[in-house]
A = this chain, B = another copy of it.
Amino acid sequence: MSASGNYAVTGTDIAAAAARIAPFVIRTPAIAGSAVSALAGRPVTFKCESMQRTGSFKIRGATNAVRSIPEADAPRGVVTHSSGNHALALATAAAERGMPAHVVMPANASPSKRAAVERAGAHVVTSGNTGAEREAMAAEVQSRTGATMVPPFDHPWVMAGQGTIALEILEQVPDAGTLVIPVGGGGMLAGMTIAARALRPDIRIVGAEPELAGDAEESKRTGVRAAQRPPVTIADGLRTPLGELTFPVIRDLVDAIALVSEDEIIAAMRVIFMQEKLVIEPSAAVGVAAILAGRVGGSLDRPTVCVLCGGNVDLAQLPWSMPNMPNMPKA
């Protein structure tokens, strides 16, 4: 597949984003996953965005957005509505540029998440709990403050920032044959796809999505952007539907979307904790689950690189019963 279409971002945008955000993000490690490789029968490497600043890849897009805002607009700050990793990332990136950040969070957001965003320096605005109420409140804040809206995924600045993950992967694992990338709103998947296709037109790119949030798979299959599913999957970072800008990239340039069940996500998360010894959040287990289920295809000989997209998980509420598990042999 070639990147011949006219999409929201280009490889040049992503290269510029990489230079722009480099001082503010971690070049996260690429770690060979020996247990998953043995279980899957193919060499698998993890791109550990779980170890990224703020605990997820979201700081890349947020920083690229914040640093792309013209000087004249900067004093009025940024605004978003999110109760997840994007909120913390945007708050952090804005604080680093000395800009105000307004984050609209629903009244039912967890107090700890709200506190983390406030600790990062953002002004948290409480809205009603529906998506419409949150969007309305964000629009109200924007019109009142003149802040620049930085949505969590459907924006060229954000997509370009997330795309930088692919540039690093292709430097760290130059012979990668397949990329496995979790998909929610599609900012990471679309951005990485543009970047990877520009450098390696033949690389296999597979999105990984929970069955319970399978709108991306349906959208790609039908060619029509599908509606959001009820937000019930344990992979809470992937509950959002594709955006207007991310969808065309995924429709045209991604090879496939692999669906996984909730049980497969939890089992994969367990393997990553207990055998690979990495702390990840459920959304980061979705790509691993697709690999372990044998649903990503591509070469079994060349490295498959799987993005572990975040590590922000409540260690007191890990989703498996753990009566005992010392000394788990690795591979």
- Mark A residues whose CB is within 8 Å of B: 26, 29, 31-32, 34, 48, 50-55, 85, 88, 92, 110-113, 116-117, 119-120, 273-274, 276-280, 311-316, 318, 322-331
Contact = CB atoms under 8 A, between A and B. Distances in A.
Contacts of A50: 277
A288 to B, nearest CB: 15
A113 B327 CA distance: 6
Contact of A116 (B119, B279, B316, B327): B327
A233 to B, nearest CB: 17
Contacts of A330: 26, 51-55
Given A52-B330, A111-B324, A273-B315, 8 more contacts: A26-B32, A26-B34, A54-B330, A88-B327, A92-B329, A112-B325, A278-B279, A316-B324
A50 B52 CA distance: 20
Nearest to A321: B316
Contacts of A113: 326-327
Contact of A331 (B53, B273, B328): B53
25 contacts: A26-B330, A29-B31, A29-B32, A31-B31, A34-B51, A34-B53, A50-B277, A51-B277, A54-B329, A55-B329, A85-B327, A88-B327, A110-B326, A112-B323, A112-B326, A113-B326, A116-B327, A116-B329, A277-B280, A277-B311, A278-B278, A315-B315, A315-B325, A316-B324, A316-B325
